[in-house]
Homo-oligomer: A and B are copies of this chain.
Amino acid sequence: MTGTIASVVIEDSGVTGLEADRGLVTRKSTAERVAGVLRKRIAEGFFLPGGRLSEQDIGNALGVSRNTLREAFRLLTHERLLAHELNRGVFVRIPSIEDVIDIYRVRKIIECAAVRGVRTQPASFPRIKEKVEIGDEAARTGNWKDLGTANVWFHQELAALSGSERVNELVGRLTAELRLVFHIMAEPRRFHERYLPRNHEILDRIEAGDGPGAEQLLMKYLDDAEEQLVGAYADRADAARAAVAAE
């Protein structure tokens, strides 16, 4: 009886939509969890760009073996968060000025393409609006750290309009890399603050379903941001490298 009932419930269309829960069941290996911890630490600036990550120290601190830790390093190196130098170890990456330019080149391609396709108010509009408002609130209360992350989220939502899993992953990595850049910069607060009004303009266009209009604003936004960032960054990156060289 119960067996029959169970089979009826389970079979065929009963499992439709259940695949979304795979992530909850899929356990993660130790290396992946370690990579998660390190990724977070790097994002929040605990490990600063140029710093070396000692296998022994971190392995002891986290209670994992060197082999496992090296697997985690390998993961983050592939995400361009760490730089691996043979026989010297892994270092938190210091993006070069060429990296910054290339990151913005890709962002322009990806984000603009995603926004351009908008023809009617997208389903994710509330989420996009939310991100803008979080940024406003952070600026009002002077919480510069949250302002930066809110801005990142806003752009990730824009990219997500493409509806592509691979685009989302790519943009996630690009913004993680950009965080390294901001950690090197002197005053990221004023940098982000300046662009808040523009977020609203873009948001308005998206609300109206005017993709091309939003794209035009976004392109100019990214052009200006890149120009300003490149101008302010060149000497900063060199200074960071020199500081590392001088211990």
What is the interface of chain A, defined by CB distance below 8 A to chain B?
26-29, 31, 67, 70-71, 74-75, 78, 86, 102-103, 105-106, 109-110, 113-114, 162-167, 170, 174
Given that A71-B70, A74-B71, A110-B109 are known contacts, is A102 also in contact with B166, CB under 8 Å in the complex? Answer: yes
Contacts of A114 in B (CB 8 A): 109
Q: Give Cα A227 to B191, complex, Å.
A: 44
Whether B86 and A27, one on each chain, are in contact in the complex, defined by CB atoms closer than 8 angstroms, is yes
B29 and A166 within 8 A (CB):
no
- With A74-B74, A78-B78 given, name 12 new contacts (CB 8 A): A27-B86, A31-B74, A67-B67, A71-B71, A102-B164, A105-B163, A105-B164, A109-B114, A109-B162, A109-B164, A113-B113, A166-B174
* Chain B residues closer than 8 Å to A71, beta-carbon distance: 70-71, 74
Chain B residues, CB < 8 A from A105: 162-164, 166-167
Cβ of A171 to closest chain B Cβ, rounded Å: 11
A106 contacts B74, CB within 8 Å?
no
Q: How far is the CB of A96 from chain B (nearest CB, A)?
A: 11
Contacts of A113 in B (CB 8 A): 109, 113
Chain B residues with CB under 8 A of A166 = 102-103, 105-106, 174
Closest B-chain residue to A110, C-beta based?
Answer: B109
Closest to A104 in B: B164
Identity of the chain B residue whose Cβ is nearest the Cβ of A66 in the assembled complex: B67
A to B CB contacts below 8 Å, 16 in the list: A26-B86, A29-B86, A31-B74, A67-B67, A74-B75, A102-B164, A103-B166, A105-B162, A105-B166, A105-B167, A106-B166, A109-B110, A109-B113, A109-B164, A109-B167, A170-B170
How far is A109 from B215 in the complex, measured between Cα atoms in Å? 14
Residue numbers in B under 8 Å from A67 (CB-CB): 67
Q: With CB as the reference atom, state the residue of chain B lying closest to A71.
A: B74
